[in-house]
Amino acid sequence: MVNIFLNGCCGRMGHTIAKMCQHNDEYKVVAGCDVTTCDDFSFPIYSNPQDCAEDFDVIIDFSNAKAVPTILNYALTRNKPFICCTTALSDDTVAELLKASETIPVFKSANMSVGINLMLELVKKCTKTLYPEYDIEIVEAHHNRKLDAPSGTAMMIANAISQEIPEEVDYVYDRQSRNEARKKTEIGISSIRGGNIVGDHSAMFINDEEIITVSHRAMTRDVFAKGALTAAGFMCGKKAGYYNMSDVIAEAIKE
């Protein structure tokens, strides 16, 4: 049994993870933390993580970018593995995560879906094969309540692609103000916000004769919750270091 401290437990993803653990023999949320309150769960919910009296094996964070440094400091205080699922982090926060990974196990992924992480490998192969003859564009779509744009997953895809391009790559988010022809070294990144879209991501490789599209569509938020729980099991007993979903997949393949 993996005992979890769930930061952001009253949010949409926090609810999904907590409900998934209610009748689960492998994972249990023993305490949570949130600035808001909810009465849906039997475990205690703290507004300040330092008030938590329960013991646990790992921290899962699905909160917001501003809250990450506080919960990361708590992970260091308790010497517990930290799984950061929160997106739109500042460079300073990412640097804090890297620094903390020298002391505790830190897991960071902008998208907890196994399918998205497989997509990253596919777009790398496409880029190796098709660039520079093909222009590359990324389109992402999410629900109308999502605050950050482009999504952290879109940036993961863009970064995976740029790793396979020898030249310096320019990410273009808004062509309206550019008034110039597209350069080969550009990766266009477009965002759509509407309704209750869970998460759609497409990488398009385009030339004059054809369009090759690698896409992923999340049908429910359960896919992200399952990924977070898989990461929780993976992180238990790990030594200090910086981990991501690629490490989870690699370990599963070895087994």
Query: Could you list the active site residues?
Result: 142, 146
| Separation CA 226–CA 245 (nearest Å) | 12
| Separation CA 168–CA 145 (nearest Å) | 33
Alpha helices for the chain (secondary structure H): 12-21, 68-78, 91-100, 114-130, 152-162, 222-235, 245-254
Task: Reduce the DSSP state of residue 18 to 3 states and report it.
Answer: helix
Q: Is the dihedral of CA 114, 55, 37, 48 positive or negative?
A: negative
> Distance between terminal CA atoms of the chain?
20
Cα 11 versus chain centre, distance? 15
